[in-house]
Amino acid sequence: MRSQLASLNVAALGRVGVLFGGRSGEREISLMSGNGVLDALRHKGVDAHGFDTGLRCPTELAKEKFDRIFISLHGRFGEDGTIQGLLELLNLPYTGSGVLASALAIDKIATKQIWLSNGLSTPEFEELTAASDWNAVVRHLGLPLIVKPAHEGSSLGLTKVKSVDELPAAYQLAAGLDKKVIAETCIVGDELTCPLVGQGDTAEALPVIKIIPPQANYDFHNKYFSDETQYLCPTGLAPEVNAQVQDLALAAYKALGCRTWGRADVMLDQKTGKPYLLEMNTSPGMTSHSLVPMAAKAAGVSYADLVLWLLSQTLQSKEAVTT
């Protein structure tokens, strides 16, 4: 990464649009990420301009005469393949995964099906509906279990269910945010995350981060606004465990066809020591509490250099923008 940046001609990046805000439940976080990215790019001498897709029609992008796009949108209408498809129609190179990988990764059920078909470990799950037999769900997945919207991030609409009586309310909460609701076995143990960068055979895993939230509750507040959540990088785990998590995360990233960057969330079962994939983020946060910048820093790469490197990858994507 550092060697690529050393030979980068910043002027070649041209006029850059940073997409942030949007219309998803993660709008507030996207604004924080996007403004951080915008400041970093300008600090590096890039001609960067913010574009809030929640306030402006995305079709106005054509009028801006951007040469490339840094996507700092999170959740639906930004991380799900929709904005990626528009950018491809406009022939605008952009950061992050393409249409297919973005659409797959935002759908937790589709993601799990692909991982399982590739022999990758992920908690048992099933899709819930209003007609689901709650007792049968518990027999299948056990207790506690996790109920969440299939297309939301940042723990929005997530409930840790400890008894069968709590399932209907948990389903209603998730269904209020998404037509598709997933329940999965709750893996008890260390909560880990592993950022990834690159594409195909050149993709690599950054250092693993161990997350220790207050009361073991890594909810929206504790992810972005609490100073009580602890992040350990290095994790304090055995080197072979870190390597196992990195290998699993990298395989998950490749199985979905991700490119440029992403972040795999993983649980390490405290009883068996086995890591389980939870989900893949294809447009990770870039706030002061975000995990990709934290892992990059541990690898010796600053926030501003990380942002510039991510954008620089669009220089090679013009001819491969539809892959």
Instruction: Answer whether 17's CB lies under 8 Å from 69's CB.
Output: yes
Catalytic residue among 94, 171, 218, 224: 224
> Secondary structure of the chain: what % helix, strand, coil (to 5)?
40, 20, 40
Q: Is 88 a catalytic residue?
A: no
Catalytic residue among 33, 72, 222, 281: 281
Q: Is 217 a catalytic residue?
A: no
Q: What is the DSSP letter of 115?
A: H
Instruction: Answer whether 13's CB lies under 8 Å from 311's CB.
Output: yes
Q: Is 265 a catalytic residue?
A: yes
Q: Is 2 a catalytic residue?
A: no
Catalytic residue among 72, 171, 279, 303: 279
Q: Is 263 a catalytic residue?
A: yes
3-state secondary structure of 3: helix
Rounded to the nearest 10°, the torsion over CA 196, 78, 16, 194 is -10
Q: Is 171 a catalytic residue?
A: no
Pairing of strands 275-281, 47-52: unpaired
Catalytic residue among 30, 97, 154, 242: 154
Instruction: Answer whether 197's CB lies under 8 Å from 208's CB.
Output: no
Q: Is 14 a catalytic residue?
A: no
Q: Is 281 a catalytic residue?
A: yes
Taking alpha carbons only, the member of 122, 82, 120, 72 closest to residue 102 is 82
Record the tokens describing residue 249, joined without a space: 């995360």
Catalytic residue among 26, 107, 184, 190: 26
264-286 as b/e: b if 16+ CB within 10 A: bbbbbeeeeeebbbbbbbbbbbb
Catalytic residue among 263, 290, 312, 317: 263
Catalytic residue among 259, 285, 303, 312: 285
So which residues are the catalytic ones? 26, 154, 224, 263, 265, 279, 281, 285
